[in-house]
Structure 1
Amino acid sequence: MPRRKFPSRPALRSPALLAGLLALGACSQDGPPPEPPLPQEALAAVAADPGVPRERLARAVDDLFAAEGIGETRAVVVMHDGEVVAERYAEGFNAETRFTGWSMSKTVTGLVIGMMVADGRLRLDDPAPVARWQRPGDPRGEITLRHLLQMRSGLRHKEAVEPLYTSDEVRMLFLDGRDDMAAWAEAQPLEHEPGSTFAYSTATSVILADIATDTIAPGADADSRQRAMAEFVEARLAVPLGLRSLVGEYDASGTLVGGSHFWATARDWARLGEFLRHGGSVKGAQIVPRRWIEFMRGENPAAPDYGAQMWLNHPSGSDRTVLFPDQAPETVFAAVGHLGQYLIVSPEQRLTVLRVGKTGHEAQPVLREELGDIFALYPSR
């Protein structure tokens, strides 16, 4: 009887066949495929007990460095219950690197103004003490300090417009306004009635810094103005808060570039966020009145997503999106700077997150989503 022949078994060494079998295996498993292992540096950047599952926080932080389309993250610090629970740096940066805050600097300027209001040197609803606005018949004389702080001065300040060299912050910082930025900003005419219209403006924060400097060094020359303001920031803010790295830049007239040019290490920026989370106090010492922090976080009649020199986690009522109202409590607030600088504070979650880096406008939605994932991990009280 002839032996029956059976079909030969395919060689399992075939790459195509192996790929097919693996695909069939993946289709048959329950749920999504397992997550890839974490890089060692990602897990090492997170404390043993960060208040949430350690690996989940490590993955969320790692995404800020590794996700596609997010730009370049240079440093991340996460603080929970006052402790650093995650801290990571990109190659070339470390805990001693000073990072520019860009528009996170506006929040620092807002704190300086708050101290002067608390001292009785300035009044929130008096006409802003800008000499050129006080001439008879000048409608800018109706602009108050409150209007400036809430970005509703009515001045013709056009931020982030095209072409770039026509944008007011570029002209003021780098072109025709650079030697006396406050004079340039204060010279702009009214475009709207003071108090009526929100217009985010770096020039406005420079006006606030100029007012603060004139208050402590009236009539002084450029060097004296710069020295007086640097000493004020050091004595009243940096030393009490333990922000040893905090330093501002000044223009040729001695005016603090308060809308964009404070520098600090990542940890010191995060400490500033914790100071805000605690309502302006450090270890029980009230450095800035709690009511002033509440004002900075409070309602703005011209913009639901902005307080006073800080952003709020509220829908804007327009196409503007700065934070992530759907991913975190509405009590979240933030200092936000150009190219994706974020100092985000959530009092309900006892959480502060600092991210600095370089992310273009088109990639900001992806960056916000990744930042929101960290806040989604932590429960509210």
Structure 2
Amino acid sequence: MSLPVSAFAQKFGFARADVSLGNWRTRPYSAWSFQNVAELVPSVEISTSATIEDETVEPLGALLEQTVDVGAGSETVKSFLARSDTDTLVVMKAGSFVGEYNAPTVDPSAPHIVFSISKSLTAILAGVLQDERLLDPAEPVTRYVPEAAGTAYEHTTVQQVLDMRVSLDFVEAYLDPESDFARYRRAMLWNPMRASDKSETLREVILSLPKAGGPHGGPFRYYSPLSDLLGIIVERASGLRYADLFREKLWMPLRARGRCTVTVDAEGTARAAGGVSMTARDLARVGEMMRNGGMAGSRAIVTERWVRDTLSAGDPAAWKAGDFAHLLKDGSYRNKWYQSGFPNGAFMAIGIHGQWLYVDPVREVTIVRLSSQHEPVDDPLDQQALRFYEQIAAML
């Protein structure tokens, strides 16, 4: 006699017991796990028990039937969202929510992992500490992390960490189980341990990575461990644990409404490079804060000076010589935020598996798209996504 199918299996097409550390970042399991990371990886709550009633956000409605052409032929907005494994799309115009789309498997109140958008959020914390004169980006990393002496970071400045211009012998090999990247993921408790693996903390792995041959301050090189190192730096500079700093300096002043968590390793070090989970609406509020020069309503979260530096002081030459010039040919990167180089001055935060925060300051449009794409990196789809955001912004 067959067992009855659970409500979970009816919704997702698989059983909860099928999801593991070995498959949680792959389809179809990511449709559930990306909204429930804390069930798989140790996590710390950032959001508070005090709740603020959320705004009513209507479905996108007619916008879903509008036609776009992102380079794959004419299709509806809804069609693009479905084929790109989009979980949630939230659109804001001039500070107000226009509407949202949620896939059938999505609970919009559940925090969704934003992966490397976490880097951009961590940089905001660094900006706050810079404004408070607790962190000087011109200082060497060793001022804040003394045990970095004698490592690859000994002669690196905090600003070079912020701008991903550190010479490091490391490859972001997302799918190679034998790489240093897999070792890094085991240390953050994101991958299962093997019998032959040495138990290491995230901090130990970061500090063990060797320097590459070139000097610091060269081309843009995308190394995620640098952003986890930044998480340690902001903790040391502030005297607060990452989650507490995030809550005090960003979450509460932003008046965020939903839940927010961050994954941690065995000694409680936050995965500042990719472990934050939050709702799409609250991420849109972060984008609006940046669009408004650091202001969230009447509250200044970070200074306009820091936002202006972030959005205009990236080095185009370092970008063109770097890792992602194929994504934005006229782009740049500063303080862990991407500048598009587009005429509209669009800027963004991006995470693997299809996480985007896209802000068009000219049209006053903020778009959040959170996804559960099977592949961590899909360059053709990323180019289509950029065209999609431009066309959505133009429609508004």
TM-score of the two chains, using structure 2 as the length reference: 0.70
Per-residue deviation, residues 351-379 of structure 1 (Å, max 9, x unmatched): 11111112225744235424523422545
| Closer/same/farther in 2, CA of residues 276 and 115 from structure 1, 3 Å limit | same
Task: Indicate the residue corresponding to 2:334 in structure 1.
Answer: 307
Task: Indicate the residue corresponding to 2:130 in structure 1.
Answer: 117
> Is residue 187 of structure 1 aligned with residue 202 of structure 2?
no
| Closer/same/farther in 2, CA of residues 85 and 139 from structure 1, 3 Å limit | closer
> Is residue 93 of structure 1 aligned with residue 144 of structure 2?
no
SS at match of 1:160: coil
Q: Answer whether contact 1:106 1:205 (CA < 8 A) is retained.
A: yes
How many Å apart are 1:253 and its aligned residue?
A: 2.0
Identify which of structures 1 and 2 has the higher relative contact order when contacts are C-alpha pairs closer than 8 Å and 6+ apart: 2
| Closer/same/farther in 2, CA of residues 179 and 290 from structure 1, 3 Å limit | farther
Per-residue deviation, residues 32-55 of structure 1 (Å, max 9, x unmatched): xxxxxxxxxxxx72268xxxx785
> Is residue 208 of structure 1 aligned with residue 227 of structure 2?
no
> Is residue 140 of structure 1 aligned with residue 150 of structure 2?
no
Task: Indicate the residue corresponding to 1:285 in structure 2.
Answer: 299
| Closer/same/farther in 2, CA of residues 365 and 213 from structure 1, 3 Å limit | same
Which structure shows the higher helix fraction? 1
Instruction: Identify the match of residue 231 of structure 1 among 244, 247, 251.
Output: 244
Task: Indicate the residue corresponding to 2:388 in structure 1.
Answer: 373
- Distance, in Å, in 2 between the alignment partners of 1:249 and 1:82 is 30
How many Å apart are 1:251 and its aligned residue?
A: 1.6
Per-residue deviation, residues 251-300 of structure 1 (Å, max 9, x unmatched): 22222110000110111111111111112111132211112122222313
SS at match of 1:62: helix
SS at match of 1:231: helix
How many Å apart are 1:212 and its aligned residue?
A: 1.2
Q: Answer whether contact 2:65 2:78 (CA < 8 A) is retained.
A: no
How many Å apart are 1:106 and its aligned residue?
A: 0.4
- Of 298-307 and 118-127, deviating more is 298-307
- What are the residue-to-residue correspondences of 1:1-381 with 2, within 5 Å? 45-46=59-60, 56=66, 61-67=77-83, 70=84, 72-128=85-141, 129-134=144-149, 140-160=153-173, 163-168=176-181, 169-170=184-185, 172-173=187-188, 174=191, 179-191=200-212, 192-217=214-239, 228-244=241-257, 245-297=259-311, 298-300=313-315, 302-303=318-319, 304-314=331-341, 329=343, 331-359=345-373, 360=375, 363-366=378-381, 368-379=383-394
1:206 counterpart letter in structure 2: D
Task: Indicate the residue corresponding to 2:322 in structure 1.
Answer: none
Q: Answer whether contact 1:73 1:90 (CA < 8 A) is retained.
A: yes
| Closer/same/farther in 2, CA of residues 54 and 73 from structure 1, 3 Å limit | closer
| Closer/same/farther in 2, CA of residues 161 and 357 from structure 1, 3 Å limit | closer
| Closer/same/farther in 2, CA of residues 254 and 87 from structure 1, 3 Å limit | same
How many Å apart are 1:233 and its aligned residue?
A: 1.2
Equivalent pairs, count: 307
- Distance, in Å, in 1 between the alignment partners of 2:119 and 2:287 is 13
- Distance, in Å, in 1 between the alignment partners of 2:66 and 2:256 is 30
1:196 counterpart letter in structure 2: G
Per-residue deviation, residues 89-124 of structure 1 (Å, max 9, x unmatched): 111212212100100100111011111111111111
Per-residue deviation, residues 34-89 of structure 1 (Å, max 9, x unmatched): xxxxxxxxxx72268xxxx785389753133234xx3x111110111111112011
Q: Answer whether contact 2:344 2:361 (CA < 8 A) is retained.
A: no
TM-score of the two chains, using structure 1 as the length reference: 0.73
Q: Answer whether contact 1:64 1:371 (CA < 8 A) is retained.
A: no
Q: Answer whether contact 1:296 1:307 (CA < 8 A) is retained.
A: yes
| Closer/same/farther in 2, CA of residues 88 and 193 from structure 1, 3 Å limit | same
- Distance, in Å, in 1 between the alignment partners of 2:233 and 2:248 is 19
Which runs of no fewer than 5 residues in structure 1 stay unpaired?
1-43, 218-224, 315-324
Q: Over alpha carbons, which structure has the higher Rg?
A: 1
- Of 249-258 and 357-366, deviating more is 357-366
Q: Answer whether contact 1:348 1:380 (CA < 8 A) is retained.
A: no
Q: Answer whether contact 2:206 2:225 (CA < 8 A) is retained.
A: yes
